[in-house]
Structure 1
Amino acid sequence: MQKPAVQGFLFDLHGVIADSWQYHLASWRQIARELKVSWTPQLAETLPGMSRRDSLRTILSSDNRQSEFTAQQFQAIATHENELYRQMITKMTPANRLPGVTKFLKELVAAGYPMALASASTNAPAEIVRLGLTGFFSKIVAADQLQHSKPAPDVYLAAAKLVGLPPKNCVAFEDTVTGMQSAKAAGCYTVGINQQELPGADAMLANTTELSLATVLRALGQPVG
């Protein structure tokens, strides 16, 4: 049975396009300190890829504190984290692009492939501006309009719609387990970028320096050239 042809590319932001998880984790560590919740390696490993609300639920649940806050208090804490994060990303510049990403994006544009940003972050448009990548990502999923965050497929279904393609014809790049689950649930080809195997990935790259159109197509069993 012939595989669906690759016709478009969908990108997570944090850990795939930019080294920006440091800012998210720093803001969540601050929240944990303020709430007097112990910050653990498991939290640092689990939060990447989650929405803000899911991240806060996970932090509170780690200390059995989820029932202590009203909906209004919960929202206030989530808003505070976003404010902390927005302060931190003022430091973000094109230097935060991960190695090899710019070259790969230029290669996709030259080959005529449409692409979209599939990030769960509502700050993604501002980050793309600070990274100097607006020329590549005119199509960015509106995370605040999604009904469900990763690992649900919503963000990748929305991204595929932005490029006008069925998910089965799109390649999704992810660096987290949660993100990989989202892309797989949407029906995309999946490429994991992580030194650890991401369950369900159709192909794995250790880091972004390995990105090239030929490498990705070969790894997915697609014709090259």
Structure 2
Amino acid sequence: MLKGLIFDLDGVLTDSAKFHLAAWNNLAQELGIKLTSAQLDSLRGISRMDSLNLILKYGKQENKYTKTQKEEFAAEKNEKFLEQVETMTPADILPGITELLADAKKAGLKMCIASASKNAPKILSKLGIASQFDQIVNPALLERGKPDPEIYQRAQQLLQLHNDEVISFEDAAAGVAAIKAAHQFAVGIGDKQILKGADYIVKSTKELKLDKIVAVFKRNNKKVG
């Protein structure tokens, strides 16, 4: 029986992902690294330090900097990102999300944020939807990033639910892999090929209808049962 929803943030509730990617691209250019669009896209859904290490790997600079220097780079990127976050308003909530959250509340579902972003509370506040969520996973307390299932397992624990009682939403392949590794029902938002591991896929958030998702979730659970 469905009792809760778990959401990634960037690219799912709002398009703050574009701010992340722009900030990372600027930093890469400062380091003399030219990222392809595919390389830039691969940074979606993963933690700050994992993203930085991946960029350095792409530029064959993974052993060039000390831990302290890397932390300074990550802080610089975050500063640029936060400048953009300050401009966010409820108008930046992606289409269909307001209705989805309202329907979930009416259905009495618990909700949790499972984002690798340490800025999730601030972003939710700027969007005006912080009060909608019962819990937010603190990524600073996690040992492993997506595609490891830890963040989704933690979200499930915070909601005090079992893995067959939740539906989780992602827009990145690493996130979908994390959900499935946690043995949860995965909703993918975006390209079908990239998110092919998901149980239910839509092109955009405006196609997210709770009743349709729940219908597939119930059929899926019957097959498993």
Does TM, scored on the shorter chain, surpass 0.5?
Answer: yes
Q: Which of 190, 197, 200 is the aligned partner of 1:200?
A: 197
CA deviation map 1:100-148 (0-9, x unaligned): 0001100000110101011010000000000100121241110111111
Asked if the contact 1:13/1:118 (under 8 Å) is kept, the reply is yes
Deviations 1:178-200 (A, max 9, x none): 10011111111111111333132
Counterparts of 1:221 and 1:86 in 2: how far apart (Å)?
40
Which runs of structure 2 are paired with 1:1-225 in the superposition (5 Å)? Answer: 5-197=1-193, 198-222=195-219
Length-normalised TM-score, structure 1: 0.94
Paired residues, what number?
219
1:12-40 per-residue CA deviation (whole Å, 9 max, x = no partner) reads 10111111111001110110111111021
Structure 1 gap ranges (5+): none
**RMSD between aligned residues:** 1.3
* Identity between Structure 1 and Structure 2 (%): 37
What is the distance in 1 between the residues matched to 2:164 and 2:178?
13
Q: Which runs of 5+ in 2 are unaligned?
A: 221-225
Which consecutive aligned stretches of 4+ in structure 1 deviate over 6 angstroms post-superposition?
none
Give the whole-Å Cα distance in 2 for the aligned partners of 1:170 and 1:208: 18
Q: How does the TM-score come out when normalised to structure 2?
A: 0.94
Deviation at 1:218, TM superposition (A): 1.9
What is the CA–CA distance in structure 1 between the aligned matches of 2:204 and 2:38, rounded to whole Å?
22
In structure 2, what residue type is equivalent to 1:189? F
Paired residue type of 1:18:
T
What is the CA distance between 1:211 and its match in structure 2?
Answer: 1.3
* Partners of 2:96 and 2:206 within 8 A in 1: yes
